[in-house]
Structure 1
């Protein structure tokens, strides 16, 4: 089995690569080749029996993926994206990476006759927004309130239509806010959701830019990777009628996140979080819904975290 991953040098991409290598197979077939694509060359896996190609490519360049698609990959994980804050700040960049490159990838699949290739794209809770019901489901209309969410929503519609036409086997997973991400804060508007837990656990200060009563829909990195892998294994027919749905996260307030931090790491850890309101971040994140009926995801075998404490303790185990 040949698997392609865009955004392979990033946080999710690297975790996905490592998990696939540990498994050695996907959908009952042995993995024989990985093609890892990013702006910079991803680390090259050294595993017997698996050929690895690590390519530093700008996927916004027309035709740049043609040699990869000519090899007729079985599965494509499309994780490359400009995150929410950066997409809001630079419309042109967000459109090129988040939308234009996705459309080019779909057209490449069409041109090379990859009707049977499974294309899994990571979408986002940011695709929702506006005046919403208290609890959303997968068919709630998308009214994104920022450029990142709009770009993801457009991609969802394209993937659904190309799949309806039989041009590719597209699967879209709407990701909750991922916490706790390792590393340092990035340009995502939701970056604080990791930093207010990660930094105090690392004996560092963090800034909370939003009100503590703000609700968020969150999921751990480990559960997201499990979902990406499972997404390639669900039978094609089970994705109808629409090929995008929300993964089963958990609903928490920022206050509950800090409370869980205190339960695990003590009051001193909580004291390292400073509250400095940021209207721009609050305006973006407060439009993201936090309560979902994820019955379809659970029916198809996708699983979420039990609670915040489990997420925090998993991060501590991985860090040690």
Structure 2
């Protein structure tokens, strides 16, 4: 089985690559070839049984993905994206990466007859926004209040249509806010959600730019990777005509997250959090829903975190 990963040098891409190499198979078929692409050349995994190739590609350029699609991948994990704040600051860049490149990828599959290729796009909770019900489900209308969310929503509709036509076997997985991300902060509006925990637990000061009453719908990195892999294996007939779904996150407010920080790192860690409101970040993140009915994802077999303490424990165990 041949797997292609876009955005493979990123946080999720690196984790997904490692998980696939360790697993060694998808849907009972041995993983024989993995192709990794990103703006910078992704690190190639070490495996005695796996053929791996890595490419530095600007996916916004005409014909940029032709060569890798000529390899006829069986599964495509489309993780490449411009994150929320950057997409809001630069509309052209956001459209080029988040929407145009997705369309190019779908067209590339259509032109090569890759109708059975499972294409999984990492979408986002940001496809929702505006005047929303208290609890959302997968049938809630998409009314994004950011360019990033709009670009993801448009890509979802396109994946659904190409799948309806039998041109590809697509699935868009809406990711909750991922916490706790290791490493350095990025330009995503939700970056603070990891930073207010990661930095104090590492002995560093951090700024919390939002109200402590703000609710977030979150999921751990471990569960997101598990969901991406599971999404590659679930039969298309189980998905039916609706090729987008929200992954089963959990709802937590910022105050609860900070209390978890106190429990894990004590008052010393808590004292490293400074509260400095940022209206821009608050406006973007507050437009995302904080409560979601996970019934469809659960029925399909996707697994979420049990509670926020499990998320904290995952991060501390990995760090140690």
The verdict on a shared fold, with TM-score over 0.5 as the criterion, is yes
Q: Is the 8 A contact 1:103 1:155 kept in 2?
A: yes
Q: CA deviation at 1:111?
A: 0.4
Structure 1 position 241, deviation (Å): 2.5
- Is the counterpart of residue 215 in structure 1 residue 215 in structure 2? yes
Aligned length: 320
With normalisation by structure 2, the TM-score equals 0.99
Query: What secondary structure, in the 3-state scheme, does the structure 1 residue paired with 2:129 have?
Result: coil
What is residue 63 of structure 2 aligned with on the other side? 63
How far off its partner does 1:263 sit? 1.2
Q: Any idea what SS the aligned residue of 1:304 has?
A: coil
Q: What SS is found at the alignment partner of 2:36?
A: strand
CA contact (8 A) 1:156 1:172 kept: yes
The equivalent residue for 2:96 is: 96
Measured after TM superposition, the shift of residue 298 of structure 1 is: 0.6
Please list every run of at least 4 consecutive aligned residues from structure 1 whose deviation after the TM superposition is greater than 6 angstroms. Answer: none
Residues 222-264 of structure 1: per-residue CA shift (max 9 Å, x gap)? 0000000000010011112210010000000000000111112
Structure 2 runs not aligned, ≥5 long: none
Q: Distance in 1 between matches of 2:19 and 2:229?
A: 9
List gaps (5 residues or longer) in structure 1: none
**Cα distance per residue 1:17-76 (max 9 Å; x no partner):** 000011011110100000000000001112011001100000111111111111111000
- Displacement after TM superposition at 1:268 (Å): 1.2
Within 1, Cα distance between the matches of 2:110 and 2:297?
27
Asked whether the equivalents of residues 8 and 79 of structure 1 are also in contact (C-alpha less than 8 Å), the reply is yes
1:231 corresponds in structure 2 to 231
In structure 2, the residue matched to 1:35 is 35
After superposition, the C-alpha distances for 1:58-111 in whole angstroms (9 at most, x for unaligned) are 011111111111111100000000000000000000000000000000000000
C-alpha RMSD over aligned residues? 0.6
Distance 1:318 1:85 in 2: 28
Q: CA deviation at 1:266?
A: 1.0
Q: Where does residue 242 of structure 2 map in the other structure?
A: 242
State the alpha-carbon separation in 2 of the partners of residues 244 and 139 from structure 1: 10
User: Aligned partners of 1:241 and 1:112: how far apart in 2?
Assistant: 23
- After TM superposition, give the deviation of residue 307 of structure 1 in Å: 1.1
Corresponding residue number in structure 1 for 2:297: 297
Report deviation, 1:273: 0.4
Q: CA deviation at 1:124?
A: 0.2
Name the SS of the counterpart of 1:232 in structure 2. Answer: helix
Query: 2:195 aligns to what?
Result: 195
